Amino acid sequence: MINLEPPKKAGALINQAYQAASQVLRPISRKYDRAEHAYPKELDMFAAVLDGLNSSGQGGAGAAGVRRESSAKDSSGNRNGGNLRTVLGTIEMCWGDVALLLSMPRQGLGNAAIASVANDEQLARFGKLWAAMAITEPDCGSDSAAITTTAVEDGDSYVLNGEKIFVTSGQRADAVVVWATLDRSAGRAAIKSFVVEKGTPGFEVVRLEHKLGIRASDTAVLRFENCRVPKENLLGSAEVDTKKGFAGVMQTFDNTRPLVAAMAIGVARAALEETARILADAGVVVDYDKAANIQHAAAAAYLELEADYEAAYLLTLESAWMADNRKPNSLQASMAKAKAGRSVVDITLRCVELAGAYSEESLLEKWARDAKILDIFEGTQQIQQLIVARRVLGKTSAELK
C-alpha cells in the first residue's frame, strides 16, 4: 500500500538537493531572469556534481528521466524507487529556481523521453547527452496526434522535414528528441520519436523566444529540412501498429508529467514559505488549531492555498510511486499534472496579492511569472482534464474530443 510520506532513504537526497537549491540556484535566480538567453555558467560545475550523484545510484538529483525497466527487477513488495526520488529531488531544486533546473545540462525533458522508450543500446549511446524534446508545431499545440513533421525512410536513414516551436533548451542541448510521423494516413500509430544530434545537416535553430517566465531557460524554434537521421536513432519500435496506437511515444508523458508536476510543487512551496514569512513579519498568525473563518482574512486565505498545495503534492507522489511499482499511471500522471499546474498558478498569484509583492524586490513576482508555463507545457490544463475524463469514463480519443 502506498505511504505518502517521503521514504527515509530519500532523506539524504532531499537534503542535498535542498542545499544545492538554496546555495547555488536561489542566489542567482534573479540574475538570470534579467539576463534572458545568457547561459548560467555556474551550472557547469553543478551539473557535474549531479552526474556523480546519479551515477552513484542515489539518483533523483535533477530532472532527468527514470528507466522503468530498472524498477521491474524486483517483482514483489512495494518500492520507493527512481521515479519517486527524481520527483522529490525536482521539488527541492525548483524550490530554488525552476528555470535554472530546466537549464541544467543533461537534465532535459528529452532525457526523460530517452529513459522511457530507448533500448539498451540507445541508452548507452544517448544516455550522457543533454537532450531537449521537440513536439509542438506552429499548427499543432496540445493535440500531439496532429503532428505534421514527417520522417520518410530512405535506405539506412530517415529523412525529417518540419518545424518545431517552444523547444526547451533547443539551442543549448546536445540533441533533440523529435516527434514525427512515418505515415500521416496511419494517424497516431505512425508517430515516433527520433534522436537528432546537434550538427546534423538540415537541422537549424531558427530563433529563441522572449518569454513571460522561466527566462533563464532558452526556448527555441527548430527547423528540419531534409535532415537525415540514422535508423538506429528511432526510439523504440519502428512498427506502425494501429491497434497499439499512440501508446509507444505517449509512455514518455507518463514519466515527464509527474516531473513537471514536481516542478510546480517546488515553485508553489517557495511562494508559500515566502508568503508565510511576510505575513508573520506583518503580525498575521496562521493558527492550525482554529477554524479558518475565525482567523485573520490573510491567514484564512493562506490555509486555503496550503490545502491546495498538499492535494497537488500527494497526487504527484502517487503518480511517481505507481511508476516505481510497475502500475499503469497515465491517469494519475495527468491528474497530478493538471492539479499541480493549476494550483501553482493560483497559489503564486494569490501570494503576490497577500504580500503586495508586485516589484522585483521580491522573488514572488518572478515565481508568479514562472508558474504559468507549468500549467501549459507537457500537455495543457485542458488536455489533462480531457485525458482524465477519457480514463475515468472509459472513452477513446475518438469518442471524447
Pairing of strands 175-181, 191-197: antiparallel
Instruction: Please return the burial class of 1, using the count of CB atoms within 10 Å of its CB with bins 0-12, 13-18 and 19+.
Output: exposed
Distance separating alpha carbons of residues 196 and 205, to the nearest angstrom: 12
Overall size of the chain counted in residues: 401
Instruction: Name the DSSP letter for residue 380.
Output: -
With a CB cutoff of 8 Å and minimum separation 6, the contacts of 246 are 144, 145, 188, 189, 191
Q: What are the C-alpha distances in Å from 166 to residues 16, 96, 138, 169, 378?
A: 31, 23, 9, 9, 11
Query: What single letter denotes the amino acid at residue 271?
Result: A
Cβ–Cβ under 8 Å, residues 65 and 113: yes
Instruction: Name the DSSP letter for residue 129.
Output: S
Q: Kind and range of the H or E element at 281?
A: helix 247-281
Q: Which of 209, 360, 378, 399 is catalytic?
A: 378
Query: In the structure grid, which three cell numbers stand for residue 17, read together?
Result: 538537493
Q: Kind and range of the H or E element at 113?
A: helix 109-117
Helix axes 330-355, 363-374, angle to 10 degrees: 150
Cβ–Cβ under 8 Å, residues 148 and 138: no
**Torsions phi, psi for 174 (to 5 deg):** -75, -25
Active site residue 378: yes
Cβ–Cβ under 8 Å, residues 157 and 231: yes
Distance separating alpha carbons of residues 392 and 72, to the nearest angstrom: 26
Distance separating alpha carbons of residues 340 and 142, to the nearest angstrom: 18
Which residue from 220, 234, 200, 274 is spatially nearest to 122, judged by alpha carbons? 234
Cβ–Cβ under 8 Å, residues 101 and 217: no
Instruction: Please return the burial class of 9, using the count of CB atoms within 10 Å of its CB with bins 0-12, 13-18 and 19+.
Output: exposed
Give the residue numbers marked as catalytic: 378
